[in-house]
Structure 1
């Protein structure tokens, strides 16, 4: 394995700090260099024991071994191109636009540098278990999936108007779809057709719907309903997978996954993780293990292993989301 001593982290917000904390567990001897234009965050990084730098070029001049891009998800492309051109393997957080993806793919090949795209739920063991269960079925399945949380509760310490989830281009509905659709497609297959219903039922000062219902037909023959909202006053994740030979229920945590025993008609608990780690300030259905696992896979890609989810996969998902938004975005212009 390549020796990693210097880690560059672009963006010292909540995700940047999470990546540092988890990466330091895997690479305890690494030194972290934090790029952030915000002087207060530079100060915080220094107080936390890291090296603070004020620009990406200054960080690249240190010749880091790997880099993480943890800035707002609408503006990653230029940063990634600059990092790849410097020959540095890079991990990018969730992208909400496919801007310059063709250039990124070409640059990755030209400079022989991996670009690892975060898709945390692809690495969550529950989702891998669902994929295994679905793969064993010989008949089409139906699923019902609801994910929602009231927008101001996402980051209670700041106004949603000052956070990217409140902006039209990188809105909270789009973010939930970008987080969830990768594992849904991985589990049930590519999307053949999607029909969209939407509304705005809150007084939130936003230029996008707060509630969207997707009726999805997969190329595999499976069908599903995916409800996405930024309205739910209790953070909600609820999944049912239904078929003649299977019925699965999940409410987003480690201890609430159940599978119906078809013979006895009893619900049987399915334990996935022996325990889960949670960080204060986040919803209790957000666990740290998948974030840690995708960093492990990023490190393995440096030695030539192919990731489970790459730029091509991400471009496909973002294309689906663009298609969905065309159904309604023009109706929410102020």
Structure 2
């Protein structure tokens, strides 16, 4: 099987490495910059194309799109038109322009697609999902979901002001950047019926995007969830809590554990993640899942249609913050 990775930044290089680890996959790359091409050639010894049309002409079975967010649609559309299966990093795009055309081609050609929301492969959140599906906390009434970290410390040695997350013209901002939380809220709780948001650029960081967002989601089930997203916390934080009629389910990224409180016996049960778990395993599992979807062994946990729904919610969140309005998503 032949894979093409377009966009050779840090996430593109991670996917190349993991694909080579999985084995029995021929990997090539495409990047517009000589530095990007040279880096993957040196690290992995693979062919790296300057011209995207040449890269597609080599006949890849699947294309991995890891360009900046605002540059996802064009290469994805060309790949889909060429009949390639698609993996697109989250979010699908920075707006909905051109998305309907891709969705139409994917449906017409029966292409396999996956959107890169790797948190769906984290053992902690997978355990939370399992407990929710089993009804261990009863009917879920509310949820609190949080993620925050200090952007300048993400990539030592790299000027944070130049990365896509800090720039509105490249699809940055914490709402789109932290779409993982919107995605797994929907994964856990179902369809979103309505929402509202307050968001702004509040810190002294040199950004032109929102760095703090607080979102309220009302689900069709009636559940109300609060999501807090930020670029400003000086200590990394990622956690969630689901409150049910019969108990509470919690997860904390830093603690590496899931908690289940039972209202029946007033007892906490703790589920520790595997002691040898490494973060890259999420990405390996994600890419292996994509390969298995192409071969028909599995079905995508988040295809492009699901990714498009995540984006629709995120864009409504941004609209709510801008217009200071409560927005209904019921169609």
Give TM class, smaller chain.
0.7 to 0.9
For residue 30 of structure 2, the aligned residue among 26, 31, 35 is 35
When the two structures are superposed, what TM-score results if normalisation uses the length of structure 1?
A: 0.87
Deviations 1:187-230 (CA, angstroms, capped at 9, x unpaired): 01211222222344311122333211112221112112111111
Distance apart, 1:271 and its partner CA: 2.4
Contact 1:257-1:270 within 8 A present in 2 as well: yes
Deviations 1:83-141 (CA, angstroms, capped at 9, x unpaired): 12222222111123333121112222333432322221223332232223223144332
Deviations 1:219-262 (CA, angstroms, capped at 9, x unpaired): 11211211111111111112222233212232214733222354
Aligned to 2:219: 218
Distance apart, 1:39 and its partner CA: 0.8
- Alpha-carbon separation, structure 2, partners of 1:200 and 1:15: 26
Deviations 1:293-314 (CA, angstroms, capped at 9, x unpaired): 2212211222345312122212
The answer to whether residue 282 in structure 2 is matched with residue 299 in structure 1 is no
SS state of the match for residue 239, structure 1?
Answer: strand
Kindly report the root-mean-square deviation, in angstroms, between the aligned alpha carbons of the 2 structures: 2.2
Aligned to 1:327: 320
Aligned to 1:127: 125
Worse-matched range after superposition: 313-322 or 135-144: 135-144
SS state of the match for residue 141, structure 1?
Answer: strand
Contact 1:254-1:272 within 8 A present in 2 as well: no
* CA shift in 2, pair 1:101/1:9, >3 Å: same
Distance apart, 1:177 and its partner CA: 3.8
For residue 56 of structure 1, the aligned residue among 47, 52, 57 is 52
SS state of the match for residue 175, structure 1?
Answer: helix
SS state of the match for residue 269, structure 1?
Answer: strand
The answer to whether residue 8 in structure 2 is matched with residue 12 in structure 1 is yes
How many aligned residue pairs are there? 317
For residue 281 of structure 2, the aligned residue among 283, 289, 293 is 289
When the two structures are superposed, what TM-score results if normalisation uses the length of structure 2?
A: 0.87
- Alpha-carbon separation, structure 1, partners of 2:216 and 2:32: 42
- Alpha-carbon separation, structure 1, partners of 2:107 and 2:267: 52
Tell me which of the two structures has the higher relative contact order, counting C-alpha pairs closer than 8 angstroms and 6 or more residues apart.
Answer: 2
Q: Map 1:78-157 onto structure 2 (within 5 A).
A: 78-94=74-90, 95-97=92-94, 98-135=96-133, 136=135, 137-157=137-157
- Alpha-carbon separation, structure 1, partners of 2:245 and 2:105: 48
Distance apart, 1:30 and its partner CA: 3.1
Contact 1:254-1:273 within 8 A present in 2 as well: no
SS state of the match for residue 327, structure 1?
Answer: helix
Distance apart, 1:265 and its partner CA: 4.0
SS state of the match for residue 320, structure 2?
Answer: coil
- Alpha-carbon separation, structure 1, partners of 2:277 and 2:69: 27
Deviations 1:43-86 (CA, angstroms, capped at 9, x unpaired): 21221222121111121222223221111112111101211222
Q: Map 1:227-242 onto structure 2 (within 5 A).
A: 227-242=228-243
- Alpha-carbon separation, structure 1, partners of 2:5 and 2:236: 29
Contact 2:5-2:63 within 8 A present in 1 as well: yes
SS state of the match for residue 37, structure 1?
Answer: coil
Contact 2:240-2:250 within 8 A present in 1 as well: yes
Aligned to 2:175: 174
Structure 1 segments unaligned to the other structure (5+ residues): 278-286
SS state of the match for residue 40, structure 2?
Answer: helix
Distance apart, 1:184 and its partner CA: 0.6
Q: Map 1:184-203 onto structure 2 (within 5 A).
A: 184-203=185-204
Aligned to 2:328: none
* CA shift in 2, pair 1:158/1:109, >3 Å: same
